[in-house]
C-alpha cells in the first residue's frame, strides 16, 4: 500500500476508534460526568484514550450476567405485566414476606418495603446470627462448619492467601471432598494475585474444583481489571452460611505479630437466609464455570428471631440496589446511624442523604481507620469530610491496626453486614453481597461492639483540623478525590 494510503487508513482507524469509544460512552454511561470524561479522553488521546476506555470503562458483564440471573427464579422475582400502569398496580400486591411468616416489629416499615421492591428478595424470619471478631474467632468457626458438612460446601472469597491460615482451609476443604461432600471454590481473578504461591494450586492438588472470576489474561484477551467479585461466601448444606468483609489469610489475624494485620468482623448465619446466600454463590459459579449446581432445600427450621434479607449488588441489573437501600435507610432513620467502613468515597447522592439525616436531628457517625492500608484512599476521603463536618456529621478515626470492618447500624434495630465498602468500586464496579438484619437484640450486640471496641481510642476529626492542612496536602487530597471513581 502506498504511504499515502497507509496514512489515510491509519487516520481512519484512529478516528473510528475514538468515535466508537465516544459514542459508546455517550450511550451507556449513566453518570454524565463519567460520560463526558471518557468522551474527552477518547477524542483527545489517539488510540490510548479508546484503549483506556476499552480496559477500564466498558462493563462487559451486564448482558451475560443479566441473562443468567434472570433465569434463576430463586434470586430474581420478576413481576407480571410490562406496562407502567400494570407494574404500578403490582407494587401494591407485592408481599413483603413469605405468607407463613409475620412481619418484623420495627419502626422502619418504609425501609422494609423499599428493600423488598428494590431487591425482589424475601425477608426471611427465624435466623440466628453470631458476630465473629477477627480471624481468631471466624476461621475456627468456618473450618468447623466445613468439617461438619454433610452434602455441600461452597466458598467464594476475594483474597485467599496460601499462608498458614489459608492452608488450614485447604486442608479442611480437602477432607470434606474426600468424605464425598460436593466442594466448590470460587476465587476472584485479581484477588488471588495478592498471595504467592497461588492457593489455586494447593486447592487443585487436593482435588477441589476451583474457578477464577474474570482473571486478566492476554490469550484470549481479557482485561477486566475492574468488575471484581468481592463477595465473601461460605455456604454449608444450604442451612449455614458465613459472610461479611473478611478475607482468608493471616492478615485477618488481628493479633498476629510481625504481620500486616487487619481488624475485622465476620458473621455466622443459621436458618433460611443461608439458602439465599448459597443461591448467590450458585449464580456466580454458573457464570464462570458453566455448571448449574442443584439448589439445597430451604430450611424449615428457624433457630433464631432475626429477620434477614440478602442483597446482591453488581455491575449488571443489580447496579445501584445497595446504594438505594443505604440512602433509604438514612432517610428512614429517626435517632442514630453508625457507618463503619475502611474505604469512604461516597457518591453525591449518599453524601446528600447523610447531610439530610443530620439536619433532621439524626446522630450520624462515620468510623474510618486512622491507619489505612491504601493511603491514597485516605487522602481522597479527606477532601470530602469537611462537607459532612459542616453539617454536624461526626467523623472519627479508629486507632491502629487497620480496621477492615464494614457495618451499618440504624436506630439500634437495623444492621447491614456484608462485603461492600462505601466507595465507587464497591457500589458501582464490584459484585457484592450484603445482608439486612432486623432484630433489636442483635442490634444491641452490634451497638455494644461499637461502644466497647470501636469508639474507645478513636479520635474525632474536626473542621479546624481539615482547614489547617497545608496547601500541598489540599492539592494532593483533591487530586486523588478526582480519581475516586477508579480507586
pLDDT at 408 over 60: yes
Last residue of a domain, one of 293, 311, 329: 311
Same domain, 151 and 268: yes
- 78 burial class (0-12, 13-18, 19+ CB within 10 angstroms)? exposed
Does residue 422 belong to any structural domain of this protein? no
**Neighbour tally for 306: CB within 10 Å:** 26
Q: Rounded to the nearest 10 degrees, what angle do helices 321-332 and 348-359 cross at?
A: 10
Residue 197 preceded by cis peptide, ω within 30: yes
Does residue 415 belong to any structural domain of this protein? no
Last residue of a domain, one of 311, 343, 360: 311
Nearest residue to 311 via CA among 436, 224, 158: 436
pLDDT at 392 over 50: yes
When pLDDT is cut at 50, 70 and 90, the band that residue 291 belongs to is very high
Same domain, 253 and 285: yes
pLDDT at 230 over 80: yes
Q: How do beta strands 394-398 and 432-438 pair?
A: unpaired
Same domain, 250 and 149: yes
Does residue 209 belong to any structural domain of this protein? yes
| Per-residue pLDDT at 22 | 76
Integer angstrom CA distances of residue 410 from 153, 174, 320, 341: 33, 41, 20, 15
Same domain, 167 and 29: no
Cα 161 from Cα 185, distance rounded (Å): 13
Percent helix, percent strand, percent coil in the chain, to nearest 5: 45, 20, 35
CB 412 within 8 A of CB 473: no
Q: Which residues contact 40 (CB under 8 A, 6 or more apart)?
A: none
For the chain, how far is it from start to end, CA to CA, in angstroms? 45
Least trusted range by pLDDT, from 81-95, 186-200, 445-459:
81-95
Does residue 362 belong to any structural domain of this protein? no
User: Does residue 132 sit in helix, strand or coil?
Assistant: strand
Nearest residue to 430 via CA among 205, 204, 191: 191
Cα 162 from Cα 373, distance rounded (Å): 20
Same domain, 194 and 209: yes
Same domain, 283 and 174: yes
Same domain, 18 and 145: no
Cα 278 from Cα 153, distance rounded (Å): 9
Integer angstrom CA distances of residue 366 from 34, 66, 104, 311, 464: 27, 34, 27, 22, 18
Rounded mean pLDDT of 394-422?
Answer: 96
For residue 151, the domain's CATH number is 3.30.870.10
Cα 332 from Cα 108, distance rounded (Å): 6
When pLDDT is cut at 50, 70 and 90, the band that residue 223 belongs to is low
Question: What pTM, to 2 d.p., does this model score?
Answer: 0.86
CB 409 within 8 A of CB 436: no
Residue 401 preceded by cis peptide, ω within 30: yes
Cα 318 from Cα 422, distance rounded (Å): 16
Q: How do beta strands 182-188 and 233-236 pair?
A: unpaired
Does residue 334 belong to any structural domain of this protein? no
Same domain, 177 and 228: yes
pLDDT at 58 over 60: yes
Cα 358 from Cα 352, distance rounded (Å): 10
Structural domain boundaries enclosing 40: 12-58
| Per-residue pLDDT at 50 | 76
Rg of the chain on CA atoms, in Å? 23
Q: How many domains does the chain have?
A: 2
Same domain, 259 and 149: yes
CB 234 within 8 A of CB 267: no
Does residue 414 belong to any structural domain of this protein? no
The C-alpha cell that represents 434 in the structure block = 450484603
CB 177 within 8 A of CB 208: yes
Angle, vertex CA 99, rays to CA 97 and CA 102, nearest 5:
60
User: Does residue 333 sit in helix, strand or coil?
Assistant: coil
pLDDT at 94 over 50: no
Last residue of a domain, one of 283, 311, 339: 311
**Neighbour tally for 453: CB within 10 Å:** 14
Nearest residue to 284 via CA among 242, 233, 320, 239: 233
Helices (H) and strands (E) in the chain, counts: 17, 17
CB 424 within 8 A of CB 345: yes
Query: Per residue in 15-51, pLDDT tens?
Result: 778 788 778 777 776 666 667 777 877 777 777 877 7
Does residue 370 belong to any structural domain of this protein? no
User: Does residue 340 sit in helix, strand or coil?
Assistant: strand
Same domain, 296 and 187: yes
CB 22 within 8 A of CB 39: yes
Percent of the chain topping pLDDT 70 = 85
Same domain, 32 and 172: no
Does residue 156 belong to any structural domain of this protein? yes
Same domain, 96 and 27: no
Amino acid at each position: 500500500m502506498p504511504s499515502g494510503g497507509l496514512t489515510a487508513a491509519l487516520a481512519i482507524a484512529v478516528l473510528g476508534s475514538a468515535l466508537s469509544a465516544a459514542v459508546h460512552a455517550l450511550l451507556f454511561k449513566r453518570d454524565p460526568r463519567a460520560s463526558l470524561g471518557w468522551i474527552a479522553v477518547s477524542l483527545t488521546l489517539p488510540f490510548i484514550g479508546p484503549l483506556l476506555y476499552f480496559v477500564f470503562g466498558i462493563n462487559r458483564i451486564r448482558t451475560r450476567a443479566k441473562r443468567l440471573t434472570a433465569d434463576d427464579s430463586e434470586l430474581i422475582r420478576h413481576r407480571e405485566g410490562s406496562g407502567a400502569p400494570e407494574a404500578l398496580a403490582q407494587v401494591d400486591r407485592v408481599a413483603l414476606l413469605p405468607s407463613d411468616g409475620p412481619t418484623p416489629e420495627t419502626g422502619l416499615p418504609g425501609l422494609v418495603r423499599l428493600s423488598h421492591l428494590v431487591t425482589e428478595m424475601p425477608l426471611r424470619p427465624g435466623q440466628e446470627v453470631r458476630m465473629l471478631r477477627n480471624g481468631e474467632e471466624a476461621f475456627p468457626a468456618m473450618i468447623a462448619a466445613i468439617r461438619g458438612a454433610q452434602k455441600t460446601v461452597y466458598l467464594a472469597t476475594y483474597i485467599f492467601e496460601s499462608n498458614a491460615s489459608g492452608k488450614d482451609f485447604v486442608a479442611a476443604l480437602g477432607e470434606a471432598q474426600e468424605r464425598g461432600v460436593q466442594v466448590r471454590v470460587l476465587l476472584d481473578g485479581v484477588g488471588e494475585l495478592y498471595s504467592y504461591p497461588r492457593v489455586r494450586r494447593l486447592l487443585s492438588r487436593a482435588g477441589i474444583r476451583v474457578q477464577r472470576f474474570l482473571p486478566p489474561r492476554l490469550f484470549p484477551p481479557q482485561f477486566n481489571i475492574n468488575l471484581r467479585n468481592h463477595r465473601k461466601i461460605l455456604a454449608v448444606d444450604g442451612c449455614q452460611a458465613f459472610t461479611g468483609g473478611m478475607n482468608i489469610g493471616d492478615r485477618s489475624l488481628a493479633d498476629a505479630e510481625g504481620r500486616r494485620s487487619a481488624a475485622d468482623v465476620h458473621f455466622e448465619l443459621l436458618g433460611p437466609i443461608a439458602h439465599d446466600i448459597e443461591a448467590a454463590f450458585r449464580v456466580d459459579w454458573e457464570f464462570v464455570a458453566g455448571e448449574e449446581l442443584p439448589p439445597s432445600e430451604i430450611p424449615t427450621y428457624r433457630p433464631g428471631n432475626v429477620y434477614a434479607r440478602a442483597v446482591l449488588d453488581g455491575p449488571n441489573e443489580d447496579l445501584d440496589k445497595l446504594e438505594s437501600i443505604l440512602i433509604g435507610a438514612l432517610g428512614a432513620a429517626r435517632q442514630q446511624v453508625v457507618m463503619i467502613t475502611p474505604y469512604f468515597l461516597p457518591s453525591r447522592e449518599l453524601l446528600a442523604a447523610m447531610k439530610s439525616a443530620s439536619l433532621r436531628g439524626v446522630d450520624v457517625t462515620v468510623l474510618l481507620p486512622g491507619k489505612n492500608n491504601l493511603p491514597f484512599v485516605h487522602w481522597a476521603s479527606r477532601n470530602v469530610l469537611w462537607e459532612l463536618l459542616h453539617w454536624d456529621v461526626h467523623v472519627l478515626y479508629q486507632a491502629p491496626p487497620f480496621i477492615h470492618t464494614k457495618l451499618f447500624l440504624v436506630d439500634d434495630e437495623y444492621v447491614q453486614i456484608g462485603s461492600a465498602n462505601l466507595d465507587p468500586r464497591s457500589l458501582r464496579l464490584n459484585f457484592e453481597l450484603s445482608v439486612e438484619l432486623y432484630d433489636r437484640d442483635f442490634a444491641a450486640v452490634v451497638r455494644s461492639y461499637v461502644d466497647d471496641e470501636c469508639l474507645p481510642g478513636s479520635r474525632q476529626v474536626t473542621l479546624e483540623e481539615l482547614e489547617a492542612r497545608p496547601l500541598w496536602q489540599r492539592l494532593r487530597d483533591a487530586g486523588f478525590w478526582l480519581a475516586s471513581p477508579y480507586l
